[in-house]
Chains A and B, each alone.
Chain A
Amino acid sequence: MEIGKKLKEARLQSGLTQEKAAEKIGVSRQTISNWENEKSYPDIVSVIRLSDIYSISLDSLLKGDDKMMEHLEESTDIVRSNRKLAAAAGANVVLVAVMVILSMFLPENEYFLAAVFCLMIIAASVLFYQIIKRF
């Protein structure tokens, strides 16, 4: 059974309205409705709070719903997110180092300089976007 249906059943069994449940965990009634209709998924903190107020185990809420597990994995996979950021920063440093070394051996060439600038602009933009994505 998907998490939306489980949340709705658990709420009804605990005798709470959407407004009451929303008030208890500090979200809006619309958010509870969206979760129950699977228009969006709750974050892990909200899932824990819901399991508390509905007196239902986390196991029964989370297991069996692949989409929910995927959502939690993506939103809490800080290690993978840090790796992407580190890779972008590392690529920038390596690029600058390679360009500096190459410029020592290659004769002065406008095309080379232009290519260097273009690559550095793209690399800096990618790094900045990675930082923004982690906002």
Chain B
Amino acid sequence: MTGIEIIPAVGGAFLLVGVISVVYQIFQMVVIDARARNLKHPGFWGVFTLGSDNLILYLIGRRRYPVVRMTDADRKEMARRKKVIGVSLAFMAAGAIGIVLYGMLTSSL
């Protein structure tokens, strides 16, 4: 692999790791949130929000179900997972930008 060909490989790896991390963190956060609101089958809601616009639908729909019980540990867990999502989004953006720049470099050669 030449120097320039490393860019899409690394970019793709960053993108993949970022996507998997974001998806996993959102799943876990939804499960914690659904449990705190006494929604039945929190695991189902976690999987549901993995669909394209379903996270927005969940955030809108959950307003009818106030938080009944969220422990301090749950709150800290949510805050930690939000930070991990922030880092994962940075990975995704870096990976995507790397792939775009590779595309630009190779098309101009």
Contact = CB atoms under 8 A, between A and B. Distances in A.
Interface of A: 26-28, 30-31, 34, 40, 110-111, 113-114, 117-118, 121-122, 125, 128-129, 131-135
B100 interface: yes
Given A27-B71, A135-B59, A114 B104 contact: yes
A31 B97 contact: no
A85 to B, nearest CB: 11
Interface string B44-88: 000000000001100100000000110110000010001001100
B25 to A, nearest CB: 9
B63 to A, nearest CB: 12
Is the contact region of chain B dominated by helix, strand, or loop, or is it mixed? Answer: helix
B33 A135 contact: yes
Given A114-B100, A132-B85, 19 more contacts: A26-B69, A27-B69, A30-B72, A34-B72, A40-B72, A110-B107, A110-B108, A111-B104, A114-B101, A114-B104, A118-B97, A118-B101, A125-B93, A129-B85, A129-B86, A129-B89, A131-B55, A131-B59, A132-B26
Question: Which of A28, A31, A110, A114 gathers the greatest number of chain B CB atoms within 10 Å?
Answer: A114
Contacts of A110: 104, 107-108
Contacts of A31: 71-72
A78 to B, nearest CB: 12
Nearest to B72: A31
Interface of B: 26, 29, 33, 55-56, 59, 68-69, 71-72, 78, 82, 85-86, 89-90, 92-93, 96-97, 100-101, 103-104, 107-108
Given A132-B85, A133-B82, A121 B96 contact: yes
A125 B85 CA distance: 10
Contacts of B29: 135
Contacts of A131: 55-56, 59
Contacts of B103: 114
Contacts of B71: 27-28, 31
A135 B78 contact: yes
B6 to A, nearest CB: 18
A31 B107 CA distance: 59
B107 A125 contact: no
A66 B102 CA distance: 52
